[in-house]
Amino acid sequence: MAKRLIAKTLTKASPEFFLAAACCRWPPAQGRSDAIRAAAQAPVDWGRFLAIVERHRIWGLARRGLAQAGVVLPAIIEGALEAKAAALARRNLVLAAETARLCRLFREAAVPVVFVKGVTLAALAYGDIALKHSLDIDILVSPAQVGEARAVLEGAGYALKQPLPALTETQLALLLGHAKEWEFWREAGEVTTELHWTLTYNGLLMRDVDASCPLAAVRIGDAEIPTFRLEELFVYLCAHGAQHAWFRMKWLADLGALLATVPSADIEGLYRAAQRRGSGRCAAQALLLCERLLGVELPAAFSAELRGTGTAPLLEALALDAMLGGGADAVLTDRPFGTLRLLASHFFLGEGWSYFWREISRHLVSPQDVAAFALPPRLTWLYVILRAPLWALRRLKLARN
């Protein structure tokens, strides 16, 4: 069944999609240029190509790849790509400077943090911070130090994007258990920072990948920025992409570029590490997608093992549909029942009844409800009962506005 779904989805894929995927291959060697030139031989609707690049947020990779492959573009398309790629590079310089500033402030406050994705990943995977699209700065702290980390961010000029009332200890504990980050912004959204105390809603999906892990350091300018080591970073990128059904190709491109920094024979070891941490299905899905779309070479026996794994082909099919479905500019969450389909896919990512139950229970309490009003500790079970009517009231209010 999964094979038929994959074949059906790929049959509907446009030449522009395959050209965009070729631009996301890494490293920037002859093989990538050959793949780009081959994809560009098909009749290309350059307006649709731009829409796909926009949807998947891969302007830097598309511009660099097409230029290195010597593909001649219509002048208006070339100008649009250059403008987008230049704006991306400028934005990343701002984020790099702000990452270094925040790293210094957290060190001065003696609050240990981990910077994930963003410019640290760009430096590790691409060796160039100008190529990767980054929307914000992601910072991970231990749950016990969320309050201290919030104070550092507020002292640095940030404010919560959605302000919170004064929270009781019960409310804070419930929020930390049913949410995973707070979003802050500075200067009316010029820079956005997400403060994470966990990286996944379901703790069984990515065991032992947290702020207490042994860390690596990445040099950004004159600053040494703490981030995950290769093994933890691989596990996190696979779990993160899987939780979004890989509906943006940029996430897969970043993972593919990171894999290009290690020998092909070592990739299986990273997969085994993901299995031990509860993310084996996420890693299998990611590796199959990298092999199919980005030309990542996996040992033949290992590739066959992954394709013979129970849920991996189905997860690959779901991700391809999320990437390709709905047309060039419709992301999964904008499609009919897209959010519901995304949430349903989460149940396939982990294994065992404990994972399944945690996936159900995390939806029983809404962080919005917890933050909106306080219940006494003995009555917090009422949040479960109130979830549906309060959700309906919020939807009705939005419809009226």
Question: To which residue do tokens 């703490």 refer?
Answer: 226
d(CA 347, CA 360): 9
Q: Alpha-carbon torsion 331, 183, 99, 286, what sign?
A: negative
188 has pLDDT over 70: no
Residue 332: is it exposed, middle or buried by C-beta count within 10 angstroms (0-12/13-18/19+)?
buried
Q: How many CA atoms lie within 13 A of 221 on its CB side?
A: 15
Cis-peptide into 376, omega within 30 deg: no
**What's the predicted TM-score (pTM) here?**
0.94
- pLDDT of res. 160: 94
What was the pLDDT predicted at 329?
Answer: 67
Per-residue pLDDT tens digits for 199-211: 999 989 999 999 9
Mean pLDDT value of segment 348-358: 93
pLDDT tens readout for residues 369-396: 999 889 999 999 899 998 999 888 888 8
C-beta separation of 227 from 124 below 8 A = yes
Mean pLDDT computed over every residue of the chain:
93
Interval 115-138 mean pLDDT: 95
Give the pLDDT band of residue 39 (cuts 50, 70, 90).
very high
Residue 31, helix vs strand vs coil: helix
What is the model's pLDDT at position 328? 63
| pLDDT exceeds 90 at position 25 | yes
pLDDT the model gives residue 189: 65
What is the mean pLDDT of the segment spanning 22-38? 97
Provide, rounded to the nearest whole percent, the portion of the chain with pLDDT above 90: 80
Residue 385: the pLDDT is 93
Residue range 228-234: average pLDDT? Answer: 97
Question: What would the mean pLDDT of 326-337 be, rounded to a whole number?
Answer: 76
pLDDT in tens, 153-174: 999 999 999 889 899 999 999 9
The whole-number pLDDT of residue 3 equals 82
Query: What confidence score (pLDDT) does residue 401 get?
Result: 65
